Amino acid sequence: MTERPAGKTYADAGVDLDAAASVKNTIKSIAAATLGSAVVAGPGGFGGVIDPDPAGDTLLVASTDGVGTKLRIADALGRHDTVGASIVNHCINDILPAGARPLFFLDYIGLSRFDPVKIAEIVSGLAKACSAAGCALLGGETATMPDIYRGNDYDLAGFIVGTVRKDALLRPENTRAGDVILGLASDGLHTNGYSLVRSVFDTDANPSVLATNVPETSHTLGEMLLRPHLSYLDAIGPVLDRIRGLGHITGGSFYKNISRALADGLGADVDISTWAVPPLFNFIQETGRIDDREMFRVFNMGVGMTIIVEPGLADDVLNSVPGAFRIGDVVERMPGEERTKLIGL
């Protein structure tokens, strides 16, 4: 990839990642006062971990997230099942880094008015993804608030709880310099970066652009943007006892999420030449004249999950996880250094 003249940024589209990080640090500080002795891992990780019974052998791992403005694409195309699957799979991937498997899922749908067809389509996507993961869709809330949501607006959020044995909990402090970083391919944007994409293509004002064919593919832009967020449970589940950590590449992409799986004093050297960036991301970058660093700061760029594994088990895990490929190494980092460095950028 090559440097381009200054073009679109996430901040231009209304999403300031630096401001978001500052706010999250404030929230973490406020929440600290609520964390009792049962809390094993609080805010800051992919999922919170709590010990419900000190005499037991099982921990609970919980996470919550929303679909974001992918919902605008779903509304423009009149298709709402894939956003349901996306939020379930996103939440599954957020408890996997603790080594947890999903137990149950709750949803929240807020709308301007009840739309039985739309709601049924959303929930069918939720149920399909939950069934595939062996996870109960235990309940949720459907709220009609016409003074909050306007016209076809709606919001969709998910809440998941999973379990992991105490002796199987994956912790960042278990990682070591010299560990190998593997990648698993994404299938499109998953659930991040949609505000920037909508700004690049001006999809709100001109939804017909979603019928444009994405170069080097046989799919339209709309089709590719609505692909569900992949779940990595089936791929990674069988090797959870052979790995040291997982980084779900979501908001903040590589620069934020790999380091969340690493112990203090460690960072990641990621060689971006080890995989081919999918055509969708190239199309977005060329159209919006987006800088390379901004692309890797916002989008998953074709890697949806990273696996941290000790060197002696790297080949075993590579052979055991379909589609896994080596992308980098865990290295020592001095305080103040950027923890994730992208080689070749």
pLDDT at 95: 98
pLDDT tens track for 218-274: 999 999 999 999 999 999 999 999 999 999 999 889 999 999 999 999 999 999 999
State mean pLDDT over 118-144: 97
pLDDT at 34: 80
Burial readout 35-63 (b: 16 or more C-beta within 10 A, e: otherwise):
eeeeebbebebbbbbbbeeeeeeebbbbb
pLDDT of 13 strictly over 60: yes
pLDDT of 341 strictly over 60: yes
pLDDT of 137 strictly over 50: yes
pLDDT at 12: 78
Inter-axis angle of helices 279-288 and 194-201, to 10 degrees? 60
pLDDT tens track for 202-219: 999 999 999 999 999 999
Beta strands in 166-244 (DSSP E): 180-185
CA-nearest of 207, 240, 267, 270 to 73 is 207
| Distance of alpha carbon 64 from alpha carbon 325, whole angstroms | 29
pLDDT at 23: 78
Q: Number of helices (H) and strands (E), helices first, in the chain?
A: 11, 12
pLDDT at 10: 78
pLDDT at 101: 98
Q: Which two tokens stand for residue 202?
A: 């001006």
Q: Where are the domains of the chain?
A: 34-169, 173-343
Q: Using the structure block, give the residue that is written with the tokens 């969340």.
A: 260
Report the DSSP pairing between strands 266-271 and 180-185.
Answer: unpaired
The region of weakest confidence among 113-117, 135-139, 238-242, 280-284 is 113-117
- Residue pair 340/267 in contact (Cβ under 8 Å)? The answer is yes
The region of weakest confidence among 27-36, 62-71, 181-190, 245-254 is 27-36
pLDDT tens track for 56-76: 999 999 999 999 999 999 999
pLDDT at 6: 61
Our measurement of the distance from residue 164's CA atom to the centroid of its chain's CA atoms, rounded to an integer in Å, reads 20
Q: Using the structure block, give the residue that is written with the tokens 């923890």.
A: 339
pLDDT at 147: 92
User: Alpha helices, DSSP H only, in the chain?
Assistant: 17-31, 70-77, 81-95, 116-133, 194-201, 221-225, 233-236, 253-257, 279-288, 292-298, 314-320
pLDDT at 68: 95
CATH code for 173-343? 3.90.650.10
Cβ neighbourhood burial of 317 (10 Å; 0-12, 13-18, 19+) = buried
pLDDT at 129: 98
| Distance of alpha carbon 244 from alpha carbon 211, whole angstroms | 43
Mean pLDDT across the chain: 94
- Residue pair 133/232 in contact (Cβ under 8 Å)? The answer is no
- Residue pair 198/72 in contact (Cβ under 8 Å)? The answer is yes
pLDDT at 327: 98
> Which DSSP state fits 294?
H
- Residue pair 263/175 in contact (Cβ under 8 Å)? The answer is yes
Q: Which two tokens stand for residue 4?
A: 């381009």
Q: How many CA atoms lie within 13 A of 250 on its CB side?
A: 23
| β-pair partners for 106 | 139, 159
Is pTM beyond 0.75? Reply is yes
pLDDT of 332 strictly over 50: yes
pLDDT of 4 strictly over 50: no
pLDDT of 2 strictly over 70: no
Name the more confident of 312 and 41.
312
Report the DSSP pairing between strands 154-165 and 101-111.
Answer: antiparallel
State mean pLDDT over 100-129: 96
Cβ neighbourhood burial of 267 (10 Å; 0-12, 13-18, 19+) = buried
| Distance of alpha carbon 72 from alpha carbon 198, whole angstroms | 9
pLDDT of 39 strictly over 90: no
Name the more confident of 245 and 10.
245
| Distance of alpha carbon 7 from alpha carbon 285, whole angstroms | 9
The class (CATH top level) of 34-169 is alpha beta
